[in-house]
Amino acid sequence: MTTSVSAAPEQPTPTTDNISRPVSLLSSVDKIRSSLPSDDLVDEEEEQFSWTTAIFRRKQIVHPDPDAIATKRAVFDDPDLAPHYWPKKDYENLHRFDPAARWTYGEERKALVRKLDWKIMLMAAGGFSALNLDRNNISQANSDSFLQDLGLTTDDFNLGNTVFRTTVTACLEANWPGSLDPNADLPLDHFSALQGGYIPDLILYLSYFYTKTELPVRLALFWMSMNFCAIIASFIAYGTLHMDGVAGAAGWRGLLTLLIGFLSFFRMPPSPTQTKTWFRPNGWFTEREEIIMVNRILRDDPTKGDMHNREGLTLRRLWTAMCDYDLWPIYIMYAFPLIFVRIGPHETQRPHVWYPEHSPINVSHFTTQGHRALGMVTMFLITIVSEFVNERSIVSMMEDLWTLPFLVALYALPSSPNPWIFFVVVTGLLSYPFVQIYVASDAPRCTKAYYIWRNRQRARIWDAMTTQERAHYLSTTKDVGNRRLDFRFAH
């Protein structure tokens, strides 16, 4: 991923000798106290990926010297504060943590991140695609004998879809099994068809491997691929629905998601340092690559060492999160997905209106997917516009602004409208730009304003402290997580 980070002063390529050994807390702090050189560290923050920069301002991107040191400065370089941010003793990657580690831009971006994309992101993309194939397949199955085979009525179907689109508790399933970690829970989501928690679990899993500036653009591509997956689903449905009765099975039944879930068990390692197994004896990464992965992630966010990857959600932690008023703006923002309730029925009932056997006009499966392609275009265009005007709050309202005139048109249509007019109106309605692809720094303005205020409020207190006062606070405070004075919300 190209960025506009300025090149650090040229440094000799670090050797394996100075970073390849596991270190203890005391020995590492001693290194820092003994004037460990830190003038080779990078102080500049890495800029967030921008589509407008990548497409229209490529010549303005400054590519760092691949041989320059890429290690970012962090709290681990302060001998007084470092002990308070040390990873927990049961952190699964502790044996690769070393604040003395140094690496180059070439090692990190051209080698390691590219390898992560092929090894980790590719499988994650496959799982996400399977999730969307399942979710989009419901409208295809609805055009077959799906309801009759399951003994459901149309009212049952609509009720199920309403619950699916309005509930938020399904996401709790992601981390509920306390003995499981995401690499096991994600494949089980596919096997069990309990996929409400798949997306938050996937984001948690990918955060083990990617920094805060690398992950958003990859997640954005996931969101933009939703419509593409829906188009692929229609092609698959066209073939499978014509196989109705083969081997005594209905055409809407399939095993693709089950197969991807099975492969995920073998292709999703628990962590950067746990890729070796009986069927992969050499693992995916060298010792040096593991050290770079672990230390760059912890320097980017030291709180990732506060837990190990098999800590599940508990009732006590759930209650703590529910009572955390600093998280209420996010809960409110995502608790009322009214746009999906309004659009959902048109999406899921689309086959009954447009398919040849239910319509006086000859519209094929492929024709009815036109809104998917248009949706990808509108989504990308609204993202470009939001970056050009540097405004997210108004742009994030585009779903409502886009759908309102089409909903009014549907309401104004007669009870037996011209099929082609109805086709055009519903296609326009379902081509809405799905704008929830903004990254953390692009959150809607009202929520963003709150977190800016909270960060400034804490910064006034934290910045006024001396180093000794900060160390005393960190060693005595009972605050945890985002309640600590040194925590800052991403907004």
DSSP 8-state symbol, 15? P
To the question of pTM greater than 0.85 for the whole model, the response is: no
pLDDT(389) > 60: yes
Give the distance, in angstroms, between the CA of residue 32 and the centroid of all CA atoms in the same chain: 35
Per-residue pLDDT tens over the stretch 312-333: 767 787 788 888 888 888 777 6
The residue among 369 and 250 whose pLDDT is bigger is 250
Pair 330, 447: CB distance under 8 Å? yes
Q: Is the pLDDT confidence value at 345 over 60? A: no
Most confident residue range from 40-44, 113-117, 391-395: 113-117
pLDDT at position 286 over 90? yes
On the question of pLDDT at 486 being above 80, the answer is yes
Q: How many CB atoms are closer than 10 A to CB 455?
A: 16
Highest mean pLDDT among 65-69, 147-151, 319-323, 419-423: 65-69
Provide the angle, in degrees to the nearest 10, between the axes of the packed helices 182-192 and 198-207: 160
Angle at 363 between CA 360 and CA 367, to 5 degrees: 160
CA distances from residue 399 to 35, 203, 234 in whole angstroms, order as listed:
55, 24, 24
Structure confidence at residue 364 (pLDDT): 47
The pair of three-digit structure tokens given for residue 138, joined into one six-digit string: 């419901």
| Contact between residue 212 and residue 301 where contact means Cβ atoms under 8 Å apart | yes
What does the pLDDT read at residue 462? 93
Beta bridge partners, 72, equal: 42
pLDDT higher at 32 or 65: 65
pLDDT in tens, 82-126: 888 999 999 999 999 999 899 999 999 889 999 999 999 988 888
Q: What is the mean pLDDT of residues 325-351?
A: 61
pLDDT beyond 60 at 1: no
Cα-flanking dihedrals φ and ψ of residue 427, to 5°? Answer: -60, -45
Q: Which of 56-60, 74-78, 112-116 has the lowest mean pLDDT?
A: 56-60
Asked if residues 124 and 206 have their Cβ atoms less than 8 Å apart, the reply is yes
Over residues 285-300, mean pLDDT:
95
DSSP conformational letter for 214: T
Burial of 393 (0-12, 13-18, 19+ CB in 10 A): middle
Range among 265-279, 303-317, 326-340, 434-448 with highest mean pLDDT value: 265-279
One-letter amino acid of 142: N
- Measured at the CA of 226, the angle between CA 330 and CA 190, to 5 degrees, comes to 85
- What's phi and psi for 370, nearest 5 deg? -60, -35
Pairwise CA distance, residues 403 & 426, whole Å: 10
**H helices, E strands: number in the chain:** 21, 0
| Collapsed DSSP state (helix, strand, coil) of residue 265 | helix
User: Is a pLDDT exceeding 60 seen at residue 159?
Assistant: yes
pLDDT tens for residues 199-209? 888 888 899 99
The residues with which 104 forms a beta bridge, in sequence order, are: 69
Q: Maximum distance among all alpha carbons in the chain?
A: 83
Please give the pLDDT value at position 167: 55
Cβ-proximal residues to 278 (8 Å cutoff; 6+ apart), any chain: none
Query: By mean pLDDT, which of 187-191, 342-346, 404-408 is the weakest?
Result: 342-346
User: For residue 35, is it left (φ>0), alpha (ψ between -120 and 50) or beta?
Assistant: left
Region of 481 (left: φ > 0; alpha: ψ -120 to 50; beta: rest) is: left
- Average pLDDT of the chain, as a whole number: 75
Position 11 pLDDT exceeds 60: no
Mean pLDDT across 387-405? 70
Q: How far is CA 380 from CA 4, 51, 339, in A?
A: 22, 9, 19
Asked if 312 and 176 count as a contact pair (C-beta separation under 8 A), the reply is yes
CA distances (Å), origin 210, targets 12, 182, 271, 434, 458: 25, 15, 11, 24, 27
pLDDT reading at 438 higher than 50: no
